[in-house]
Amino acid sequence: MTQIQKIITEKFADLQPMHDFVLAPLTYMKIGGPAEVFLELKTRASIVDVVQFCTSQKIPMTVFGGASNVIIDDAGLKGVVLCIANDEYEISAEDAHVVRAGAGMKTAIFVRKTIDDGLQGLEYFLGVPGKLGGAIYNNAHYMSNLIGEYVTRVEVIQENGKIVWLEKEACHFAYDYSLFHENRDILLSVEFRLTDGEKNLSLQLIKEATEYRAQTQPLGEPSSGCYFRNSPNTPELQKLLPQFAEKKEVPSSYLIDHAGLKGTKVGGVSVSKKHAAFFVNDGKGSSEDVKELAEVVKQRVFAEYGVQLREEVFFLKEKSYAKL
């Protein structure tokens, strides 16, 4: 047993920490080695206890929610890996349009509950896999809709162990971006402001979005969604691709597809033939395959369009919350 395994097991035996726990099956990409210690935290209180303890003891932590937007290294993760799973849900007693939920609640379940409670606004996000914490971390999008637009406040544990509510403006939401890329805050809860809904209309929007996803995305295959972000438009791209001239971003799927990369494979990982921005795993893929394929795609797209693609997914290997 390692020192960290011993410390965490003694301190948090009731949370059933797992040692050398292989993470691949938990991820949508089905890639990733073992966590030195793995904990699934189902309550806000347990997240606070573990995070504050690990921070005070300088034990490295890595966090994920649904693991639908991450690649985990085959070598695994040192320290404590936390799966955030708190799924509290409440409508504000002061304002029936304000809803708060745990960062570990599945996004689809949250959206469905808000609709059942007579609210609308988040329908397009019902099809986004994973949990609210992950959706807020990267400001999940559907077409031009960004989930951050509906957020009023986010509750976090900061690196110094303090728990604070951050107003929406402080979260700096932008396309595929939030403040949480820049710091080591761990999201505990999210508060949204929605509007009065009409259930049948909401269900119709969900149906349309679900059908569109099924037509355009390789939903049956292991993947982390779009591997690359869409690329900021530039005067050069506007001339080269006038069909996107009015858009702020050019779809990475278009660039990858028209660079002839659909189906390109390294080891067990390939560029999806259905949606060129998705990397899919045939079940034998490794994190090295993912990185190599990403290089092949980046180089070809740069050669064709002069565009430097940037990852939308997150490599958890490089993300450690506490300094050793």
Residues that bind ligand FAD (CB under 6 A): 28, 63-70, 84, 103, 128-131, 133-135, 137-138, 140-142, 180, 186-187, 217, 219, 223-225, 314, 319
Region of residue 288 (phi > 0: left; psi between -120 and 50: alpha; otherwise: beta): alpha
User: Cβ of 25: how many Cβ atoms within 10 Å?
Assistant: 9
In the bound state, the residue with its beta carbon closest to ligand FAD is 134
Give min distance, CB of 298 to ligand FAD, in A. Answer: 19
- Do 200 and 113 meet the contact criterion of CB atoms below 8 Å apart? no
Smaller CB separation from ligand FAD, 10 or 318: 318
Smaller CB separation from ligand FAD, 305 or 316: 316
Count of residues making up the chain: 324
Cβ partners under 8 Å of residue 76, min gap 6: 20, 22, 23, 32, 33, 34, 35, 36
For residue 140, which of 123, 128, 155 has the smallest C-alpha distance? 128
Give min distance, CB of 313 to ligand FAD, in A. Answer: 8
Smaller CB separation from ligand FAD, 82 or 307: 82
Smaller CB separation from ligand FAD, 23 or 99: 23
Enumerate the β-bridge partners of residue 146.
141
Give min distance, CB of 235 to ligand FAD, in A. Answer: 27
Smaller CB separation from ligand FAD, 101 or 119: 101
Give min distance, CB of 261 to ligand FAD, in A. Answer: 19
Smaller CB separation from ligand FAD, 7 or 146: 146
Work out the angle at residue 104's Cα, subtended by the Cα atoms of residues 103 and 107, and round it to the nearest 5 degrees.
85
For residue 67, which of 80, 88, 84 has the smallest C-alpha distance? 84
Work out the angle at residue 191's Cα, subtended by the Cα atoms of residues 187 and 197, and round it to the nearest 5 degrees.
140
For residue 180, which of 69, 87, 89 has the smallest C-alpha distance? 69
Give min distance, CB of 239 to ligand FAD, in A. Answer: 29
Give min distance, CB of 196 to ligand FAD, in A. Answer: 25
- Tokens 């080269």 found at: 240
| Identity of the amino acid at 59 | I
Smaller CB separation from ligand FAD, 147 or 305: 147
Give Cα separations from 227 to 189, 230, 251 (angstroms): 27, 10, 12
Give min distance, CB of 65 to ligand FAD, in A. Answer: 3
Smaller CB separation from ligand FAD, 28 or 305: 28
> Which spans in the chain are helix H?
3-11, 44-57, 107-116, 132-137, 199-216, 235-240, 252-258, 287-305
Give min distance, CB of 224 to ligand FAD, in A. Answer: 5
Smaller CB separation from ligand FAD, 281 or 305: 281
Give Cα separations from 45 to 26, 51, 133, 189 (angstroms): 23, 10, 16, 12
Give min distance, CB of 197 to ligand FAD, in A. Answer: 21
